């Protein structure tokens, strides 16, 4: 199964994909997820069709799709 993670950034977003059967790809995606969530990014499990999301605390290689949102601050 192929997983997908979209990280909001200055380019609009960056898409990371992995094959859940490929341990190297999974670990690379997990590493990225961990680095960003430690920086305060919020992670959400979402559906490919854009349907309702739900917060997630840890990387799930079986997740169909995730989105990572940078920390917001008072303006």
Where do contacts with another protein occur on this chain (CB under 8 A)?
6, 8-13, 42, 44, 46, 50, 53-55, 67, 69-75
Q: How many CA atoms lie within 13 A of 16 on its CB side?
A: 21
42-46 vs 14-19, strand pairing mode: unpaired
Closest to another protein by CB, 24 vs 58, is 58
Q: How far is the CB of 28 from another protein (least distance, A)?
A: 21
Q: How far is the CB of 50 from another protein (least distance, A)?
A: 4
From CA 51, how far away is CA 73, in angstroms rounded? Answer: 26
Q: How far is the CB of 71 from another protein (least distance, A)?
A: 7
From CA 18, how far away is CA 32, in angstroms rounded? Answer: 12
């Amino acid at each position: 199964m192929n997983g997908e993670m979209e990280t909001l950034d200055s380019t609009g977003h960056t898409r990371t994909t992995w094959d859940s059967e490929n341990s190297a790809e999974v670990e690379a995606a997990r590493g990225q997820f961990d680095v960003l969530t430690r920086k305060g990014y919020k992670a959400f499990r979402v559906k490919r069709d854009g349907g309702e999301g739900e917060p997630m605390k840890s990387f799930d290689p079986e997740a169909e799709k995730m989105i990572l949102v940078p920390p917001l601050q008072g303006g």
